[in-house]
Chains A and B, each alone.
Chain A
């Protein structure tokens, strides 16, 4: 069975602070994919980033960066210089390699960025 744990329920920061969202996962698959999604108050889940289990290179995309560590089964997501528009619920999700496999989501972390 797959499991995703987001221990942080809610994080509050002031604009321009950096913030890291934690994600720990469990899976028996040797090949899998990890995702981060953003859900603003409007409700739509917006795809942000994807990482393959066989590629541990960490990347930066604009203000977003992620730290994937297979040894600790963690996939943390960092927003640099946070903005008010970043306020949303962020979900970490896990998907196996089969085309039929589906997303397993964590419970989400609510990020509140105040001016």
Chain B
């Protein structure tokens, strides 16, 4: 079975631009979460979507937005990119329920010049 897939793998942008990252969950998983991981740190929660609705939002500015589509895939959008947005962006999918483990994709490595 296919795991969580993310695209693109790498991305280079300049300050002020905007970026869209994409994620396809494991088949049957309706919950998708996004995390930001800067170098040397653990992943930080950005968004969670379930059944196409936002269910949780981390402490990130409004420049960050996301959505989930009817097929449960998801997009993360970041506007007005800053140097500090350089990070590995991870998408995770899971079955719904408190203890269900989240399964992660390989991530998109975003570099801002």
Contacts and interface: CB of A to CB of B under 8 A. Distances in A.
A47 B102 contact: yes
B16 interface: no
A57 interface: no
B60 interface: no
B97 A99 contact: yes
Interface residues of B, number: 29
B105 interface: yes
A102 B42 contact: no
Interface stretch (A14-22, A37-45, A66-74): A37-45
Contact of A52 (B41, B92, B99, B106): B99
Interface string B29-65: 0010101000011111100101000011010000000
Interface of B: 31, 33, 35, 40-45, 48, 50, 55-56, 58, 88, 90, 92, 96-99, 101-107, 109
